[in-house]
Chains A and B, each alone.
Chain A
Amino acid sequence: MTNFDPETIHDVEGVPIHSVHRHDVVIVGAGLAGMRAAYEASSEFDVAVLSKVFPTRSHSGAAQGGVAASLANEEEDHWEWHMFDTVKGSDYLGDQDAIEVLVKEAPVVVREFEHMGCPFSRTPEGRIAQRKFGGHTKDFGKGGPVLRACYAVDRTGHALLHTLFEQCVKNEVRFYPEFHALSLIVRDGVCRGVVAWDIMNGGAHVFHAKTVMFGTGGYGKAFKITSNALANTGDGLSLVLRAGLPLEDMEFVQFHPTGLYRQGILVSEAVRGEGGYLLNKDGERFMERYAPEKMELAPRDLVSRSIQTEINEGRGCGENGDYVHADLRHLGEEKIMKQLPQIHELAWKFLHVDCIKDPIPIQPTAHYSMGGIPVDIDCQVLADGKEKPVTGFYAAGECACVSVHGGNRLGTNSLLEASLFGRRAGKSIVRFLRETRKFPELPADAAKDALAEVERIISADGPEKPGLLREELQEKMMIECGIFRDAEKLGKLENWLKELEARFEKIGIDDRSEKFNYDLLEAIELGHMIEFAELIVAGALRREESRGAHSRTDFPDRDDKKWLKHTLAWKHGGKIDFDYKPVTITRFQPQERKY
C-alpha cells in the first residue's frame, strides 16, 4: 500500500460509488446512548447516526419511571449511597471503578438534560422531582427507600429521547433513518466503518469512518414474553461477534417483575415506587416472605423470582394461575392520574383494566441485558475483553458491558448508564479525532460478507419459515433459559440451538424485492438472535452458581470463590471459546445480599 492516498474515495466491490459515505463519526443506534454521543461529538466533528427506525422511535422512549441521580432535591442523598446500592444490586459483579464514574457524574448528566429542555416533573420549589425505586436506599442500605429517581411523570424515557433528538437537530447531526446495519468493518485491530442496508430504497451502503460507535440496544426479542420492541433483536451484539470480538456476561438477562399479562409490555417500577402492592390469588402481599424489609421495593431479580415462585407454587391468579396482581387502588384516582397516567392508559388499552378500580394482571417479562460488548470506562471496545482496545471502536448503553450492572441492574440506572456513557463515548471520540487526521484504509472487499448475506437470504427458498423458527426460539429461551435455570434444561437447549442453526440454513422467505423488505431484514435478525442466544445459554450452563438475575436451581448459592468473575466469550467457526476476567472491587467487599 505504498501509494495509498487516504483522502480519495475508495471503490468498494459490489457497492455503487454514490453509496459509499464518509464521516468522522458513524454511530449505529439512535437511542439515548447513540444520540447522546452524537450530541457531544457533533459540536466539533462530522457525525452520522444510522438507525433501523426513525430516531424518536428508539426503544429508550419506552422507559417510564425515571433516571437515577443523587440530586438530593427531595431528601438527603449521596453518591456513595447510590454506589453502594448499585454494587449490592449487581450482586457484587459490577465493576466498582465504572460504578463510581456512573454515580458521581449522574447529577451533571441529569441537569444537562434539564438544560436541554427535558420536561421533568418538578418539586414545589421548582427543582427536578424524584421518586422511590427498587433497591435504591438511604445510608448504605440501612435506611428505607430513598427519593432518587428523577422523572417526567411516567414518560421519562420519551421525554429524554425527544429532548436529545431535538438537540441533535439543533446541532445538525446527519441522520440516516431506516438504515439497518449489516456488518462492522474491522481489520488488523482497526475499525474502519460499517455496512448498512437502506430499508426505504433497498441497497447496501458503506459508511467509511474514523470512529464507529455502537448504541444498538438490547435483545429482549429473543424471549417470548418481553417488554422490548420488535426492533430489539440484538443485531449489534452478533455483528461484534462476527468481527471476531468477544461479548461479556451474556448469561445475565433481567426479567422485569411487572410486564402486562401476556403482552409483556412494561408496567413501570414507578408503580411500586409510588406505593403499589403485589398480590397473589389470596390477596396476600407475598413480598413479605421474600424481602420482609424492602417488600415491593426490593430489586428486580428478587421480585421476579418471588412472583415466579408464587406462580409455580399455585398461588398465581386467573384460570391458569399464571400471573399476579399489581394493585394501585389504594393510591387513589388523583395520584394515579397525576403520577402514572401512562400506566392507566396501557392497562386500559391492552387489558381493559381500569387500575383505579381493579388490580393489573402482571407477569415477569424479559427486559434488559446486563451483558454485552466489553468496553473500558471511556467506552473503548476491548479486543481481548480485558485491556486491548480496538482502534476507533466505541460502544455504550444496553449493548455494552462496562460493567455497571453486574448480575442485576437497578431500575433507573439504565437511562442513566445509556446517557452518561453515551456522553463519555462522545468525549472519547472527540479526543481521538483531535489526534487523528486521516481515515483508515477501506478495504475493497469491505462489503463482501454483508452482500453475500443479503444475497443468500433474499433468494432463500427453503422449507423453513423464519417467523415460525423465531417463535420456537422465543418460547424455548423463555422456558429453558428464563428466571430459573438448571443444567438439564440448559444442556438440552444448547443442543437444540445447534439444530436450529442448521434449520436456519434452510429458510425460505416470500418477499424478493429490495424496497422496504422487512421479510428479508427479519430473517437477518433471526440469524443474529440464534448466534447470541447460543452464548447466553452456554454462559448460563457454565456459570454454576446463582448470582443476580442468573438463578440456577441446581446451584442455588452465590459462589464467590469460583465465580466472582466476568465471562468473556468468542465464536470461532461453530465453536464458543470462553475466558474470564476478575471483577474490579474498590470500596465495597462482597457481602451476603439481603433486602
Chain B
Amino acid sequence: MAMITFRINRFNPDDERRGHYMQEYQLDVEKGMTLLDALNEIKWKQDGTLTFRRSCRSGICGSCAMTINGVNNLACETQVLEFGGSTITVEPMRGYPVVKDLVVSLDPLIRGLLAVKPYLISHSPPPSDQERLQSPEEREKIDGLYECILCGSCTSSCPSFWADKEYIGPHAALKAYRFVADSRDEGSAEHLEALDDRHGLWRCHTIFNCVEACPKDLNPTKAISELKKELVRRRLG
C-alpha cells in the first residue's frame, strides 16, 4: 500500500477559456492496482467529472491509451506501483484533438486507416464448400501484424504525424502490410495507392517512436520499410 499522487490533465470543452490544467488526486494504491483501476476509483469516489475512455480492462479493446509519465500506454495494462515514484502524470495522447480531460478525437486515426482499404481484397472467388488453403509458413507472415488493437498509441507518438496532420500514420501502414503480406490478398496495388503519396510512407523517417509506443509489441516501422521496398520494386519492375 502506498499513497500515490495522480497529476491528471483536465480540459472541459464547455469552459474553453480555462483551457488545459493539471489537477492532483491522492489515492491509496495496493499491489496489483492498474492505472485504469486507479482512475475508476477516483472517478467513482472522488470526482465524477474526471473523464477517460475505457472498456475491456484486459488490453485487447484499445480504448484506454493515454500518455503516462510521458509515454503512451494502455491504462489497463499499467501497474501503478511499478513506476516507483510517488507521483504519476497522466495526459491525453498527443497529436489528436482533445475532447475532454483524457479523451481525444480519433478521427485522424480512422481517416488514415480507411485510406488503405483495410480489408481483404480478392478477385478470385473462394472455394464454395471449404476454406482457402494457406500454409502455416504463409500464415506466419501476418503474425505481428493482425494483432493491432487500433489504440492509436503509435501514430500519436510519431513526429512525422505531429508535423503533418495529413500523414497517414504507422497504424495504417501496419494494417496495409497485414493485407499485402497475406497470401490470400490480391489487392496490393489498392492498399498501396494511398501510401505512395506525399502524406504517405515517404513521410516516415524511421524514428522508431511507434515501435516503442506500441503496447502490443508490434513493429510498424518494419512494416513501413517492407512496404517502401514493395513500392520501389513496383516502380522498377
A residues near B (Cβ < 8 Å) are 53-54, 56-59, 61-62, 111, 114-117, 119-128, 152, 155, 157-159, 162-163, 166-167, 169-170, 200, 229-231, 262-263, 265-266, 342, 345-346, 349-352, 465-468, 470-471, 509-511, 513-519
Contact = CB atoms under 8 A, between A and B. Distances in A.
Interface of B: 12-14, 32, 34, 40, 43-45, 47-49, 51, 53-63, 77, 79, 99-100, 103, 105-106, 114, 117-120, 122, 126, 129-136, 138-139, 142, 146-150, 179, 182, 184-185
Contacts, number: 167
A155 B126 CA distance: 24
Contact of A200 (B59, B99, B138): B99
Given A58-B61, A62-B56, 13 more contacts: A53-B53, A115-B126, A117-B179, A117-B185, A159-B146, A166-B118, A200-B105, A467-B43, A470-B44, A471-B44, A510-B47, A515-B99, A518-B43
B63 A57 contact: yes
Contact of A61 (B48, B56, B120, B138): B56
Residue from A53, A54, A57 with most neighbouring chain B CB atoms (10 Å): A57
A517 B13 CA distance: 11
Given A53-B61, A124-B136, A170-B119, A119 B54 contact: no
B58 A265 contact: yes
Given A127-B131, A465-B44, A117 B61 contact: no
B143 to A, nearest CB: 8
A229 B60 CA distance: 10
Contact of B132 (A115, A169, A262, A345): A115
B60 A119 contact: no
Contacts of A162: 146, 148
Nearest to A153: B143
A167 B121 CA distance: 10
A216 to B, nearest CB: 14
A109 B48 CA distance: 44
A53 B63 contact: yes
A518 B47 CA distance: 12
B182 A117 contact: yes
Contacts of B133: 125-127
B100 A59 contact: no
A509 B48 contact: yes
B59 A345 contact: yes
Given A56-B150, A117-B185, A467-B48, A349 B119 contact: no
A62 to B, nearest CB: 5
A280 B22 CA distance: 48
Given A62-B60, A345-B59, A465-B45, A518 B132 contact: no
Contacts of A53: 53, 55, 61, 63
Contacts of B55: 53, 57, 59, 229-231
A117 B63 contact: no
B32 A351 contact: yes
Contacts of B53: 53
A517 B50 CA distance: 9
Given A53-B63, A200-B99, A266 B58 contact: yes
